[in-house]
Amino acid sequence: MKTTRRDFLQTSCSAFTLAGCGLLIEQKSLADHPIPAGGYPLVFPPEFTGGVLEAKVVNQEIWPGFPTTALALNGSLPGPTIRVKKGDHFKARVQNSLGESLVLHWHGILAPSEMDGNPRDAVPSGGFYDVEFPVNQRAGTYWYHAHTDKLTGKQVYQGLAGFFIVEDPAEDSLALPKGEFDVPLLIQDRVSNPGHTLAYSPMMDDMVLGYLGDATTVNGVPNATLSVTRSLYRFRLLNGSNARVFRIALGDNAPFKLIANDAGLLAAPIEVTSIFLAPGNRAEILVDFTSFPHGSTVELKSLAFTGDTTMGSSQGTARTLMRFVGQHIGNGGTAPSTLVPFAPHDLSAVKRTRQFMITMPGGGHGGGHGGGMSADLINGLVYEMNRTDFMVPFGEIEIWEFQNMAEHIHPMHPHGALFQVVSRSTSPTLPPEDTGWKDTILVRPGETVRTLVKFDSHEGAFVLHCHNLEHEDGGMMLNFDVTPSTPPIGGPQLDIRHEAEEIVVIAPHDATAYRLEGAPHVGHEALWTPVTVSPVHSEAGMEFRIPAGGTMRFFRLIKP
């Protein structure tokens, strides 16, 4: 059965709990603009050919017949696709003609700190800045988007995002589908409203849950349909939603092959029937339509899932993302059996573990909306643009441990490095979407995810944040400096190792003027108490060995 757009809206509206779905008005006005039976054909953004990337307010029709104010780059929404070869210099002038501040971030691209799109580097309306840096990283489907302090959610929602594709010889040598068989799909959920506009108007709840829409656009097209030949395709999926997590599957739950995660190809294809794709994540998949009858339709959909424990959230509801319609026989090639070898970081070379504890504001525990009307916190902190929260020595392998003690799903994303996943507490083996190189990691309520990361591209200031853009704008972001020197004394610079029997905390030798304190949670001054075990001096520094199983998990050095 073909689903009409009206059926689709009715289904999603009935599953949607926010008031103001606007269905009645919509049915009336839609009569003037009937949706074609086959949906709207998918379109592709133009390729960026160099020069200026100008961000500007435009009047455009996302839903045909319904003009809306939107934000475009060089007149295009999504922005033009940037395509570079590994080793190329990427060069662009970012021109801000928005009427508000702007900075663009190259997500997953290892750009120098000054060109990375730190919110500190936003330029006012009318301003511009130049970026130029060599792209020296593996082939992959990266992307770019606005990263302006407290405006990221709005600016991305209204259109400021696009693909940044890197190609390299290792990928070229594989016979992967190319040209028309290599299809980038930027998937975003949209909040439907009577005028079919891209109005961004989060309510208080939306700042806690994220701005969750009931409709979907792909490459900016609602109800999108792509005619495919009966052949193998490579789809580059990018979840550019503000807050919506997708659980990607095909209409008939047919298997498909996962070939790449965030930062490029896996060692070998993995056959799957569904994968999680959080905001910020990319996944590349091979779909084989060869045995697919002429004229038949296959949906790309998102399966229902549980995980966000908040009552009333539409996170995890099932939906159709777009449709593929099979045409004549084509030849996109065959799937290779191996891809690009994966070199894991050396676990035995880990220098320190850094913990990021995600807690509810105000320290509440569970209980529906008890957490208050603001985003959760990372290590008890609310983002402050000009405060540096921790230092990371250049070139050292670290474990970054994300512990989600709050109620919401948080896709965590550091700038400045790619990482590998070591473990996910809820799953004895890593799910396929956690394998290979990543830059954004989904952390569900109650989960602890450990990643291996090495900042060996650039020194300087970077951010770590939640890629739920309402959470980011609400303060779920920290600043860190990748530094060549021995970091100064301070809480996060301690070397902390969780071993079976004890927690080993190593403070620098010259920290004798400081006191070591521990706490079960961070963010509450009253919970910090002095550590009573005495240190032993070793080569590494002053070692405090604290029996495991106690309440202390966080440690800091302070001047008594």
* Binding footprint of ligand C2O on the chain (CB under 6 A): 105, 107, 145, 147, 280, 413, 415, 463, 465, 467
282 binds Cu ion (CB under 5 A): no
The binding track of 392-431 with respect to Cu ion, each residue x by CB under 5 A or -, is ------------------x----x----------------
Residue 183 three-state SS: strand
- Residue 476: name the closest of 410, 416, 553 by CA: 410
Q: In angstroms, give the least distance from the CB of 279 to ligand C2O.
A: 8
Helix extents (H) in 372-507: 469-473
Contact of residue 147 among ligand C2O, Cu ion, none (CB under 5-8 Å per partner type): ligand C2O
Binding span for Cu ion by CB under 5 A among 76-84, 256-264, 360-368, 470-478 = 470-478
Residue 151 three-state SS: coil
Backbone angles phi, psi at 8, to 5 degrees: -60, -45
Q: Write the DSSP assignment of 436-466 as a string of letters.
A: S-BS-EEE-TT-EEEEEEE--S--EEEEEEE
Q: Which of 5, 230, 471, 556 binds Cu ion (CB under 5 A)?
A: 471
Interatomic CA distance for residues 307 and 61, integer angstroms? 35
Token digits for 96?
């801000």
Contact of residue 196 among Cu ion, ligand C2O, none (CB under 5-8 Å per partner type): none
Q: Which of 359, 468, 479, 483 binds Cu ion (CB under 5 A)?
A: 468
Taking the least distance from each CB to Cu ion, the nearer of 352 and 410 is 410
Task: Find all residues with CB under 8 Å of 328, minimum gap 6, and list them.
Answer: 229, 230, 294
Taking the least distance from each CB to ligand C2O, the nearer of 232 and 443 is 443
Contact of residue 466 among ligand C2O, Cu ion, none (CB under 5-8 Å per partner type): Cu ion
Bridge-based pairing of strands 40-41 and 224-230 is parallel
Backbone angles phi, psi at 348, to 5 degrees: -75, -10
154 binds Cu ion (CB under 5 A): no
Contact of residue 410 among ligand C2O, Cu ion, none (CB under 5-8 Å per partner type): Cu ion
Taking the least distance from each CB to ligand C2O, the nearer of 279 and 393 is 279
- Residue 354: name the closest of 281, 485, 454, 471 by CA: 454
Contact of residue 280 among Cu ion, ligand C2O, none (CB under 5-8 Å per partner type): ligand C2O
Contact of residue 468 among Cu ion, ligand C2O, none (CB under 5-8 Å per partner type): Cu ion
Q: In angstroms, give the least distance from the CB of 41 to ligand C2O.
A: 28
Q: In angstroms, give the least distance from the CB of 320 to Cu ion.
A: 26
Interatomic CA distance for residues 515 and 62, integer angstroms? 58
466 binds Cu ion (CB under 5 A): yes
- Residue 410: name the closest of 152, 149, 209, 203 by CA: 209
Contact of residue 352 among Cu ion, ligand C2O, none (CB under 5-8 Å per partner type): none
Task: Find all residues with CB under 8 Å of 104, minimum gap 6, and list them.
Answer: 53, 55, 94, 117, 144, 145, 146, 147, 160
One-letter identity of residue 147: H
